[in-house]
Structure 1
Amino acid sequence: MSTNVKPLRIGIIGSGGIAHAHVRQYKQLPGVEIVAVADVIPGKAKQFTESLSLTEAQAFDSHRSMLEMDLDGVSICTPNVSHHVTTVDALRAGKNVLLEKPMSVTLAEAVDMVQTARETGGMLTIGFQPRYDPNMKLVQDIVQSGKLGNVYYVETGGGRRRGMPGGTFISKALAGAGAMADIGCYSLDMALNALGYPRPLTVSAFTSNHFGTNPLYHPEASKFEVEDFGVAMVRFENDLVLQFKISWAMHMDTLGSTLFLGTDAGLKVNPHGTGNWSGVWDGKVGSMTLFHDFMGQQTSTPVPGIEHNKDLFFEKVRDFVDAVREGRPAPIPGEQILIQQAIIDGVIRSAELRREVEIKLPW
């Protein structure tokens, strides 16, 4: 990189745990400077910059004050409930945005965020680092190649035997939703991205929090306000249905693989890893198998995985930086993720009403 190129100036809104990960990645990228950090808790941004030796970064107690600075992009790392206002403010201030998942709490918020990006011309990309696993791209390539024929049923989700977070993750006022927003969004993105993000029509869902509200299983049971389990049947255009299931805790080893059933073949994808916090699609992909007929006989073919040692979080941040520098469109555009936000919004409404609900998209 030429020394004459102006360094990219980055600000960070929110200084919680995930913000540390963003800082680590930005520090590895040449020509990138973290020049500002904002956090609504007085003094927290200053403590953050000092603890991470961000000597050139100004600290703010207001993200709006920070956005008055000359910034090329911002990472938004706030609790879910603040994603909407911070994103809209950043876009209106002329900044490009890398937003941590989930996109928002409600569908209306997601719509406003996308519309603001369109009106301002700013970039809004959502932080789904599993997309950068080459095997996720392989799943997408297989599904979209036509090898499966007409895909009519998909089953996705994931389940941790024990893997319930605490703090802001379990507060309805701060998180909006629980397991669905935290890890379910990864499952939906894996399946919907492979399918080309089809248009959902209806959803019928059930949610519960038997484990989170039980002090035998969670130390903050009295504060647990969100779901730790959810299941839904989603109908899409073109007679496609998707079964979505997610769990932070359960008396079971797995909720199963992700399945794509087509008229010509089926694809089974297993999650990566073992242990209490595994079984979800927030990282790498496990083994894959193609089920099909050959010479009139039923057979199955293992799909060779792509070996790699990529740091997926780093790839996410680097892609954002490169897109800003090169003037490229958002790597993971808000228009796509709005669709899964519509599904999560529908799951919440359906579970509360105990019936199927319609999903209405604005365009």
Structure 2
Amino acid sequence: MPETIRIGIIGSGGIARAHASAYKKLSNLEIVAVADSIEGKAQAFIDQEQLHAAAAFDDHRKLLELELDGVSVCTPNFAHHETSVNALNAGKHVLVEKPMSVTLDQSIDMVAAAKRSGKMLTVGFQPRYDPNMSLIKEIVQSGQLGKVYFVETGGGRRRGMPGGTFISKELAGAGAMADIGCYSLDMALNALGYPKPLTVSAYTSNYFGTNPKYHREADCFEVEDFGVAMIRLEGDIVLNYKISWAMHMDTLGATMFLGTDAGLKVTPAGSGPWSGVWDGSVGSMSLFHDVAGQNTQTTVPVIQHGLNLFDEKVKDFAAAIRDNRPAPIDGAEILYNQAIIDGVLRSAATKREVTIELPE
């Protein structure tokens, strides 16, 4: 167990600030280096975040030559793969922001690198740290729903389209699917125990993103702003998945788990044009079941908490390093999440159902 955990941050954009803020709250931990491929940006980040003892690098490979326990990968999506694999090969534990990568093959390579190195690869899904997410999983895994045969998840923003690197096919890989849809998938798949995806039939569009009436960068909008898919999972479970950055509707509905003995309905917390998706907390939960032969709806109390979920994610990564325990949100598990997004894009492009094939 290291006396002081030594951390490097790769990428110095907005999400890196959240990582730095969380790390600075932890005792016996030091941010010793920051790297960014844009010259001078890492040093500016160090100055702004008052990380006076940290070294700045324009090449993340130079940062990885330092004696580090772990790194946060906070780059744009397209660089997640290279930086994570390089870090794992250099013997560093990795916390990579979501989505895991741009392509499925990249995620497979990342998982293989973690296995070879014996270092952890954990993926940044902070909603997992909401105790209500644990409660949902407990209910689903308890058996009180009976055989779960259908799940519906996803969400939609009335308006909530980002710009910049998020809308570039080359840099982001996907749009709403990768940005917020991965959270919805994790919420449902984690509750189910991450069953293996088998097939996907999907549709995507970008009518809002490519319309200058709705997006100021319409001319360079290359990804999907809406998608829907029917996914077959092992265990004879069907998952209906839908996501939207923008739409003329207030909601795409709640997340539902339908079982042979009961059903669970969960709505996301939040209000306003950027809400309605599973990147935050839980708004309400209801259990639909029969009591003495009568249809009954029971409210499941939402656990009130004051946790900063992002801080909890970073803190757990540091604790896993300190305690030498497995990745909190294992990349090998999130590989299934990435496989579904890949399947959605392939199915939408070919306008047919596609098979998901993963290495054993």
Query: Does the alignment reach a TM-score above 0.5?
Result: yes
Could you tell me how far apart the structure 2 residues matched to 1:205 and 1:245 are? 9
Q: Is the Cα–Cα contact under 8 Å of residues 2 and 322 in structure 2 kept in the other structure?
A: no
Query: Moved runs in structure 1, 4+ residues, more than 4 A?
Result: none
Q: 1:170 aligns with which of 164, 167, 170?
A: 167
Equivalent pairs, count? 360
State yes or no: 1:84 paired with 2:101.
no
Percent identical residues: 70
Inter-CA distance 348–266: structure 2 relative to 1 (3 Å threshold): same
Kindly provide the CA deviation profile for residues 273-311 of structure 1, in whole angstroms up to 9, marking residues without a partner as x. Answer: 110010000011110000011101111000011111100
Matched, 1:42 2:39: yes
After TM superposition, list the pairs within 5 Å mapping 1:291-306 onto structure 2: 291-306=288-303
CA drift at 1:6: 2.5
Alignment partner for residue 110 of structure 1, among 90, 95, 107?
107
Question: What is residue 10 of structure 1 aligned with on the other side?
Answer: 7
Structure 2 counterpart of 1:253: 250
- 1:113-124 to structure 2, matched below 5 A, reads 113-124=110-121
**TM-score normalised to the size of structure 2?**
0.99
Which residue pairs with 2:136 in the alignment?
139
Matches within 5 A, 1:52-71: 52-71=49-68
CA shift at 1:61, angstroms? 0.4
Which SS does the other structure have where 2:3 is aligned?
coil
Tell me how far apart the structure 1 counterparts of residues 31 and 89 of structure 2 sit (CA, whole Å).
Answer: 20
Q: Which residue of 2 aligns with 1:268?
A: 265
Aligned-residue Cα RMSD (Å) equals 0.9
1:329 maps onto 2:307 in alignment: no
**1:178-327 → structure 2 map (5 Å cutoff):** 178-327=175-324
Distance in 1 (CA, whole Å) between partners of 2:286 and 2:49 is 44
The offset of 1:238, in angstroms, is: 2.1
Corresponding residue number in structure 2 for 1:97: 94
Shift of 1:54: 1.0
Residue 241 of structure 2 aligns to which amino acid in structure 1?
Answer: F
Measure, in 1, the Cα distance between the counterparts of 2:317 and 2:247.
Answer: 36
Deviation at 1:204, TM superposition (A): 0.3
User: Residue by residue, what CA displacement relative to the aligned partner does 1:140-193 show, whole Å, maximum 9, x if unpaired?
Assistant: 000000000000000000100000011111111110100000000000000000
Secondary structure of the corresponding residue to residue 19 of structure 2: helix
Letter in 1 for 2:159: R
CA shift, 1:242, in A, is 0.2
What's the offset of the Cα at 1:5? 6.5
Which consecutive residues of structure 2, in runs of 5 or more, have no partner in the other structure?
A: none
Structure 1: distance between partners of 2:166 and 2:235: 36
3-state secondary structure, aligned to 1:238? coil
